[in-house]
Homo-oligomer: A and B are copies of this chain.
């Protein structure tokens, strides 16, 4: 078969889909759903990206069942779209060519926790909150926290990161090994449980961030961390977004091991106050968290306080009680929903970029000006310790001029970040909406290499077609 030709994907013939569904129903019975409501829930639902539902949804219980589904789909040349919790933001779970959605939500076993090795093995459908609930009594936690209570499998597939990444890294760093069902149904284990290895190509990282286009992740061996002896959180207002960013830059450069350092602009603070009934000061705000020993946390906080003062920030206020801390971070995590409350009825556009930290203040500042000049309502939040920030325009989709203005704004935002040696997406992923920026970011030779990988691993282009690489 010629990979280049066969990879040109179109909607499969209706008869092929009907024949496949018939076979799936016989094999999987009530693990298959075809109602319109369920199918629509399994297309994209969270942002302005159009909903493109699959032809059916199947809920496997084991890696072997996933393998069987994929083999059947390959035989019928029908696309397969893996699905975690559907909280991705760039159209990752849409089915532009129809096909079968593989919903991993029944694969929820926490297979084993190796306390002594600080790792665990989980099935892909376990969510990060479920895992942390399970781990709490053991004094361990899994730090990666993208906000949504995403599935671990989905987090691997999108290379998720979030608020703790500045200290604990992203999913790229959190995964020791994966079990993956390949496009032909073969089952691959990517690595051993050793903390490091140089035994051949890094298959683990091949799948982290591949968005379901190279294989379906069914089991994950994750690195864990001990719950720190001391945790303290605080908020610090600043006179401007630029001052806050400059304080962040100095904090990172000084090597203070902040666990979280998050920016909310004044509009986002207002939204959070309204949504969570808080009384945070409505100016650009940093939310911080420090992890360590009692003495270590105190020292970190004091050093940050000095830096904040240097950039006219403050007062730096502490949330020492766990309940207070939880409430603060819950408010941060609900930023997406809080922002939607700023303009009821409007559609939310979520986008993110990431730049080298030396360019962060400049990039956020220019973006703020652009928002004003574009006449958009668009709060900013960011994992600014990594140079990563989100803009969430709220758009009246019935106003074509506003939609166009927002599209142009997102385009300028991405190009601004790329011009500053940044990336078109720090953590949301490519999905459908960022595909057009990959060649600008990586250049034609690198994009050709990505295409070579996709074609070699999935020559029939059966896995999540129409995402990352277009052909």
Contact = CB atoms under 8 A, between A and B. Distances in A.
Given A202-B205, A202-B209, A449-B203, A194 B355 contact: yes
Contacts of A387: 194-195
Contacts of A438: 199-200
Given A194-B423, A442-B189, A457-B449, A468 B354 contact: no
Interface string A156-178: 00111100010001101100000
Interface in A176-231: 182, 186-203, 205-206, 208-210, 214, 225-226, 228
Interface in A129-163: 158-161
Interface stretch (A8-16, A99-107, A116-124, A329-337): A116-124
Interface stretch (A44-52, A305-313, A405-413, A429-437): A429-437
Contacts of A351: none
B199 A427 contact: no
Contacts of A115: 253
Count of identical protomers in the assembly: 2
A441 interface: yes
A34 interface: no
Contacts of A421: 192-194
A386 B202 CA distance: 18
A446 B253 contact: no
Given A117-B357, A226-B253, A468 B200 contact: yes
Among A117, A228, A299: residue with most chain B CB under 10 A: A117
Contacts of A195: 354, 356-357, 386-388
B196 A200 contact: no
A372 interface: no
Among A438, A447, A450: residue with most chain B CB under 10 A: A450
A208 B159 CA distance: 18
A387 B450 CA distance: 34
Contacts of A173: 169, 173
A91 interface: no
Given A295-B299, A296-B299, A423-B192, A119 B200 contact: no
A196 B388 contact: yes
A186 B451 CA distance: 15
Interface in A331-356: 354-356
A195 B167 CA distance: 12
Contacts of A428: 198
A452 interface: yes
Among A196, A205, A356, A442: residue with most chain B CB under 10 A: A196
Contacts of A422: 192-194
A276 B117 CA distance: 35
Contacts of A209: 198, 200-202
Contacts of A447: 200
A203 B450 contact: yes
Among A173, A189, A191, A206: residue with most chain B CB under 10 A: A206
B446 A457 contact: no
A252 B355 CA distance: 33
A41 interface: no
Given A192-B423, A201-B206, A203-B442, 9 more contacts: A116-B253, A116-B358, A118-B252, A158-B198, A182-B445, A194-B417, A198-B423, A202-B206, A226-B255
25 contacts: A116-B253, A116-B358, A119-B356, A173-B173, A186-B445, A189-B442, A193-B422, A194-B355, A194-B422, A194-B423, A195-B387, A196-B354, A196-B426, A199-B424, A199-B430, A199-B437, A199-B438, A200-B450, A200-B469, A201-B214, A205-B205, A226-B255, A228-B255, A452-B457, A456-B457
Interface of A: 114-119, 158-161, 165, 169-170, 172-173, 182, 186-203, 205-206, 208-210, 214, 225-226, 228, 249, 252-255, 293, 295-296, 299, 354-358, 386-388, 417-418, 421-430, 434, 437-438, 441-443, 445-450, 452-457, 468-469
